[in-house]
Amino acid sequence: MKEGINNPKLIFEERKAIILFLWLFNLLYYSFEIFYFYIRPKLNKKVNPFDTNEVGLGVWLYILIFCLLPIAIYFFKKGNPYVVKYIYIIGYIGIDIIDNLMKYLGTTDSFGSGNIVEVLFILFCPIFVNNKYFWVVSLGMIGKELLLGLILQDLNVLIPTVIYVILSVIAYILVIRFNSYIQTLTTVYEELRQKEKLAVIGQMAAAIGHEIRNPLSSLKGFTQLQQERYPNTNDYYPIMIQEIDRINSIVNDLMYIGKPRVIKFEKASIEEIIAYTLSITQQQAERQGVIVETIMAGPLPPLDCDDKQLKQVFINLIKNAIEAMPEGGRIEIRVKVLEKRTLSVSIQDEGCGIADENILNLGEPFFTTKTDGTGLGLMVTDQIIKDHRGAMKIKSIIDKGTRVIVTLPILQIDK
């Protein structure tokens, strides 16, 4: 909550709570005093000298308590409204201790403490929704009673102490409930904002991507033409074409964010999809000394899917596996049918693994640990798998390797 404390809306809430508190405090405090010391003795003929307010601070008690008000108003208007509640609680406890010591120290009279506002202090804590303030009030009030009991050697303080402990427990429950509500609201708000941000990025990305694709395809066409026309002049043509393809695939990934997708489910062979994927990634694997092994369990049924999109999924996953092993290694792809008509594809590498603190960020757009990564691959992959009503699980051990398991339903019901 600390960061938000200067938020004008929160300051406004604090001010509302303070105004309510100041009204209630002053009304209750003075009505109680008037009733206790002026009205009650008139109804009750027998008056104990300690039931009058002539001992102790006497009229100074009221003047001092009243002085808290201008100080509070000053901070309320000029300085920091958050300190007003502390001024009251600390001021009140201080003045009350002095008053009681002056009343009872050196006398044998039994201690009769308290004003109804002490109950108000504790029960009113939750409206400030602040844990620290709660502890100051409840420990302050209980501490005050115990301190007076100790100095005055009087067991009468036990009654208010027990009452304050019980009230503190109730107030504490309210404080933590309020805090937890506010925290939940904040998270919901953050999630919404994140979603809105994504939607805006998605629209922008789709619009820009669309504009980039056309010039890009003519650029590629002319580069190929140039290469055919002057085959012996330049070694850079393949690199140029490769880089254009790279831009193209990034643009395609970008266009995937936030865009409603239409999926055309058709029967396709998973063997073919994997074979195609491997043919695309083969070059990169060979360059890095990565060996890919595929293990298919028995004859596999045709899969209801959008094969172009599933190819994209496995290209992304295998590329990630290759990129995780710059020094070479082995990738094992296992495909099998699970019961309940589900196909499972597991891709296991021996690469660098994923640190625990990064696991939660996987699949978030633009999250990448690579210098030339886009952080879009897993997001697109995850989306496509979800569109196929499948699931993706990632298990990783740092420096040992990563296993990604994709499960897909073999039949889509509402085709």
Binding residues for ligand ADP (CB under 6 A):
316, 320-321, 324, 349, 351-354, 362, 367-370, 373-379, 402
Instruction: Between 377 and 401, name the residue whose CB sits nearer to Mg ion.
Output: 377
Which partner, Mg ion, ligand ADP, none, binds residue 349 by CB below 5 to 8 Å per kind?
A: ligand ADP
Using rule CB under 5 A, residue 377 touches Mg ion: yes
Diameter over CA atoms, the chain: 121
Using rule CB under 5 A, residue 351 touches Mg ion: no
Instruction: Between 38 and 366, name the residue whose CB sits nearer to Mg ion.
Output: 366
Instruction: Between 13 and 364, name the residue whose CB sits nearer to ligand ADP.
Output: 364
Output the smallest distance, CB 383 to ligand ADP, in A: 11
Using rule CB under 5 A, residue 320 touches Mg ion: yes
Q: What are the C-alpha distances in Å from 148 to residues 99, 107, 136, 158, 232?
A: 11, 14, 17, 10, 100
Output the smallest distance, CB 376 to ligand ADP, in A: 6
Query: Using CA atoms, how far apart are residues 241 and 128, in angstroms rounded to an integer?
Result: 64
* Segment interacting with Mg ion, rule: CB under 5 A, options 54-62, 101-109, 326-334, 376-384: 376-384
Q: Is 201 exposed, middle or buried (0-12, 13-18, 19+ CB in 10 A)?
A: middle
Query: Using CA atoms, how far apart are residues 327 and 69, in angstroms rounded to an integer?
Result: 73
Yes or no: say if 158 and 149 are a contact pair by the CB < 8 Å rule.
yes
Instruction: Between 175 and 404, name the residue whose CB sits nearer to ligand ADP.
Output: 404
Cross-strand pairs, 303: 268
Which partner, ligand ADP, Mg ion, none, binds residue 112 by CB below 5 to 8 Å per kind?
A: none
Using rule CB under 5 A, residue 390 touches Mg ion: no
Output the smallest distance, CB 296 to Mg ion, in A: 24
* Segment interacting with Mg ion, rule: CB under 5 A, options 107-115, 222-230, 289-297, 371-379: 371-379
Interstrand relation of 401-409 and 303-305 (parallel, antiparallel or unpaired): unpaired
Please give, one letter per residue, the 3-state secondary structure of 57-94: CCHHHHHHHHHHHHHHHHHHHCCCHHHHHHHHHHHHHH
Q: Is the dihedral of CA 161, 162, 164, 169 positive or negative?
A: positive
Can you give the binding site for Mg ion, defined by CB under 5 A?
320, 377
